[in-house]
Amino acid sequence: MSETPLIIRCTNCLGLNRVPQEKLESSPHCGSCKSVLEVPRHPLHATAASFDRDVAYWPETLLVFFWSSWCLYCKIYEPLIADLIARKHGKFKVLKVDMEAEAYLAQRFTVTKTPTFLVYKNGVFAVRMDGAPKDKSEFLTWIENLLNYTSY
């Protein structure tokens, strides 16, 4: 039995496309405008100018990772998140927000701890985690549960 197809929004025409997971590696194209569909394979840097669009246009689970260069836990969790998105690409997108460079976004979301994680499902805020658990497996379980949670 094949896995559930993913829904990918075309960044050109904004149309939604149902893409079988096995086709993600072959640069799928939009059914309407024929543009190549962008499927993030690594965390993307978010700015105040791009944030709302990035959140609203992603139809799957989106993790916003507020970090800072001096944060030890951010450095510990960064490779874990990169590995997670590599394994779950197409189903999961990560936006990294540098709190020092994007102070407006940190203030907008009242981020006072690093790392802070915000999760959106289909553009709708779902849950938040301020600070990181000391046990990485607890974080991975949290993310896996969010990816498998379909109703909100």
Contact 55, 40 (CB under 8 A): no
**How far is the first Cα of the chain from the last one, in angstroms, to the nearest whole number?**
26
* Statement: residue 102 has pLDDT above 60: yes
3-state secondary structure of 101: coil
What pLDDT, in 10s, does the model give residues 62-94?
A: 999 999 999 999 999 999 998 888 888 777 889
* Statement: residue 150 has pLDDT above 60: no
The predicted pLDDT at position 78 comes to: 92
Considering the chain, what is the average pLDDT of its residues?
Answer: 87
Residue of 7 and 151 predicted with greater confidence: 7
Residue 96: CB atoms within 10 A of its CB come to 20
pTM of this structure: 0.83
